[in-house]
Amino acid sequence: MDLFLTLLAISIVGVCGSTKTELPPISHTMFPEGFIFGAATASYQIEGGWNADGKGPNIWDNITHERPSFVDNNDNGDVAADSYHRYKEDVQLLENIGFQMYRFSLSWARILPNGRVNNVNQPGIDYYMNLIDELLAKGIQPMVTIYHWDLPQDLEDIGGWTNPEIVNIFEEFADLVFQTYGDKVKWWITINEAFMVTRGYGADMFAPAAYLDLHGIVEYQVARNLLLAHARAYRLYQKKYSHQNGKLSMAFAGYFCIPATDHLADIAAAERCYQHTYGWFAHPIFVGDYPSEMKKRIDLISKLEGRNASRLPPFTQDEIDEIRGTADFYGLNHYTTNLAADGVDQSSSDPNPSSASDTGFISSADPSWPDGAASWFKVVPQGIRLHVKKICEEYGNPEIIVVENGYSEDGSNFTHDPGRIYFLETYLGELRESIYTDGCNVRGHITYSFLDSFEWKGGYMDKFGLVSVDFNNPNRTRTMKNSAHWMRNYIEMHKIYYQ
Ligand code: BGC
């Protein structure tokens, strides 16, 4: 193969009629051999079948049925892309595009209708087994997310992620799924975006939109339980399932910021933006305990508020040790970049603190950054490279897989989505720089989303899919967008070089 690349380089030089070429080295235009390309979805966003074959209700079923206006256009996931019934078509499309990995999540209440292992729903177990078998038969590796935001309603009724008992309950669920699927699944994400899960408690960004008057306190309790639940699942796998040879991580999320100016205060604000969001979860796992500046800041603010204890409850040394070292790779969710300035966002009329106000940054965007359809979305390719570099530096160059990255449009041009192609081409290009120029250990890229899907509070208007779904058609007809065709060629190119 080296000879092939050498000959290719010689032929390019020849065509240019010069012995000195300005082209980058061929290795910079390709990903390293073994680099994985995948696509991802999440159960509530695509499956539908909300009460099919014994599935129990979850917090998203509940909030969309009880409070339809919670979601734009009163949309819900009752049918969504109907992947519960159409998964074979989905796998066929994944194969057509050439993906080597499919990341999907388990609907907890489909497997355990009331969230507990004393009541297992066999059709739910079978659904995921069939999906996994279908993927493996086509040579596509499953990456399974155990929890992507659809908590069984019965568990929410006992306090959901605020109740410390959830740590044991999650461990039991993880035990069941490792035991059931672990022979076939080698890639696991315990929890998707723990940071965003905190935004459903004390804030109404996501279901259950509960404990709104406890913000500033409840987010930190929830985060603590999420980290302990993750660590339990990881330790359990180490003890009981290490022979399955799988790799586990979380999918980390938050805000990635660059300073709005080069003033020291804004540089510090950008650092806080990272440490209080991504770092809140990644630091305990890769280094141990919460980031020290985060602890100091919340301790101080709590004192100034006249409290005798910090709103950020500390971990014990045993808990720090239990959580540290519980990831085999860094699962990175990255979409956009923000500019950070020092200060507190004054748009909220609520004078009480929250985890967001504790962070103390005002977010903005550079006017030159192109928009996506989602209100928070800006296209900033260089951001992903800076972000990956930050991870390498903070956590000792871990193996990184980008487990979510993608672009939203409004779908008005149906399958014509040049914005998504531009996004993927430029972000993937920056990732190559992360690998070859910055020396970071990036092993894969997973596009979000494989299908147009239920985009949480945005309903069906924000379209993240490589594949369009006709939500007005009972057959939920799927059509590959131009970006899916582009992706197929992109992956195929790599096969040509590395087969
Ligand atoms: C979530 C996805 C969501 C995507 C785009 C991520 O935070 O994991 O479920 O669709 O962002 O909003």
Q: Is 404 a catalytic residue?
A: yes
* CB of residue 84 inside a 6 A radius of ligand 1: no
DSSP 8-state code for residue 161: G
As a whole number of angstroms, the distance between CA 300 and CA 60 comes to 36
DSSP 8-state code for residue 140: -
From the CA of 407, how far away is ligand 1's center (Å)? 10
* CB of residue 192 inside a 6 A radius of ligand 1: yes
Closest ligand 1 atom to residue 453 Cα is: 10
Closest ligand 1 atom to residue 458 Cα is: 12
Evaluate whether 469 touches 453 at the Cβ level (below 8 Å). Answer: yes
As a whole number of angstroms, the distance between CA 177 and CA 264 comes to 48
* CB of residue 40 inside a 6 A radius of ligand 1: no
Angle at Cα 63 formed by Cα 58 and Cα 68, nearest 5°?
A: 140
For 241-380, where are the alpha helices, taking DSSP H only? Answer: 264-275, 278-286, 292-304, 317-323, 355-359
Q: Which of 404, 409, 433, 455 is catalytic?
A: 404
DSSP sequence for 171-233 = HHHHHHHHHHHTTT--EEEEEE-HHHHHTTBSSSSSTT-B-GGGTTTHHHHHHHHHHHHHHHH
Angle at Cα 150 formed by Cα 148 and Cα 151, nearest 5°?
A: 115
Query: Which is it for the CA torsion 152, 203, 105, 238, positive or negative?
Result: negative
From the CA of 291, how far away is ligand 1's center (Å)? 25
User: Tens place of pLDDT for every residue, the chain, 499 residues?
Assistant: 343 344 334 333 333 334 555 665 666 778 999 999 999 999 999 999 999 999 999 999 999 999 999 999 999 999 999 999 999 999 999 999 999 999 999 999 999 999 999 999 999 999 999 999 999 999 999 999 999 999 999 999 999 999 999 999 999 999 999 999 999 999 999 999 999 999 999 999 999 999 999 999 999 999 999 999 999 999 999 999 999 999 999 999 999 999 999 999 999 999 999 999 999 999 999 999 999 999 999 999 999 999 999 999 999 999 999 999 999 999 999 999 999 999 987 766 677 889 999 999 999 999 999 998 888 899 999 999 999 999 999 999 999 999 999 999 998 888 999 999 999 999 999 999 999 999 999 999 999 999 999 999 999 999 999 999 999 999 999 999 999 999 999 999 887 777 5
* CB of residue 452 inside a 6 A radius of ligand 1: no
Q: Which of 193, 219, 271, 433 is catalytic?
A: 193
* CB of residue 361 inside a 6 A radius of ligand 1: no
From the CA of 41, how far away is ligand 1's center (Å)? 9
For residue 488, the model assigns a pLDDT of 98
Pairing of strands 361-364, 338-342: antiparallel
By alpha-carbon position, which residue is closest to atom 5 of ligand 1?
455
DSSP H or E segment with residue 330: strand 330-333
Domains of the chain in start order, with CATH, are 36-498 (3.20.20.80)
- pTM for this predicted structure: 0.94
For residue 195, what are the contacts with CB-CB under 8 A and spacing of at least 6?
223, 252, 253, 254, 277, 278, 280, 281
From the CA of 450, how far away is ligand 1's center (Å)? 12
Q: Is 293 a catalytic residue?
A: no
Evaluate whether 228 touches 322 at the Cβ level (below 8 Å). Answer: yes
